[in-house]
Structure 1
Amino acid sequence: MKALTANRLTDGEVVFWNQGRWVERFADAELFAEPGPGETAEGHAKAQPTVVVEPYLIDLIEAGELWAPLSYRERLRALGPTNRLDHGKQVEGGDVVEALQHASGAARSTGRVNLIKRK
């Protein structure tokens, strides 16, 4: 399972792809079970250089009954600043935030590795 992420160009906010538009919450992200649709979405996202910066697919793992990014880096990006629990996206709480906070795995997402290799 994968999700598509990037940073919004106007303010640097971490965003996730959902059926042709960018959303700020990982809970609202479109999840891709097959590589084809995810790669197609990534292609559409890369055609938006005035909207987002460096879109890439991230690997997901099961976290209870939900999904969470495999890499620690991507979980931090999805939660927002985590130096204090009273700000950032984790303030909203809920099942998805719980899954993000308790997921494990430290591997890099293959999409991020591919992005680094291209540079």
Structure 2
Amino acid sequence: MLVKAKGTQQSVAASRLLDGEAVWLGAGNIWVEDVALAAVFDGADAIAEALAFAKAEEKRQIVVDVYPLDVEITDQGTRPTHLRERLKGIGPTVRRDLGKQARQPAA
């Protein structure tokens, strides 16, 4: 984890072990591929509970590299506050034809 989460609103990020895809913990403890769908945990107890679930998933070898990240809620959904995490959400920046951005319609 390179970015230390400090805020009161956090989500949980990881990489899916099966294919290396960046994923976030969504509602109902489901791993989602779109950061906008990530669940937002508000407060230390909620964050600790989400991390405990994610760490258990890591032990089951569903995901790896579990960590919390600061987020904000926008009209488009959950948005990481740190640039590095925003970039992780869209995929490689050197090849627009690969990653998550390749699956989205052109703006």
Name the counterpart of 2:67. 56
Give the TM-score, by structure 1 length. Answer: 0.67
Q: Structure with the greater relative contact order (CA < 8 A, sep ≥ 6): 1 or 2? A: 2
2:25 is aligned with 1:17: yes
Structure number with higher helix proportion: 1
2:46 is aligned with 1:43: no
Name the counterpart of 1:74. 85
Deviation of the 1:29 alpha carbon: 0.7
RMSD: 2.4
C-alpha change, 1:67 and 1:28, in structure 2 (3 Å) is closer
Structure 2 residue ranges without an equivalent (≥5): 1-8
C-alpha change, 1:93 and 1:57, in structure 2 (3 Å) is farther
C-alpha change, 1:52 and 1:66, in structure 2 (3 Å) is closer
Structure 1 residue ranges without an equivalent (≥5): 99-119
CA distance in 1, matches of 2:38, 2:20: 17
Deviation of the 1:24 alpha carbon: 0.7
Paired residue secondary structure (2:68): strand
C-alpha change, 1:45 and 1:87, in structure 2 (3 Å) is same
C-alpha change, 1:6 and 1:82, in structure 2 (3 Å) is same
**Equivalent residues of 1:9, 1:51 under 8 A apart:** yes
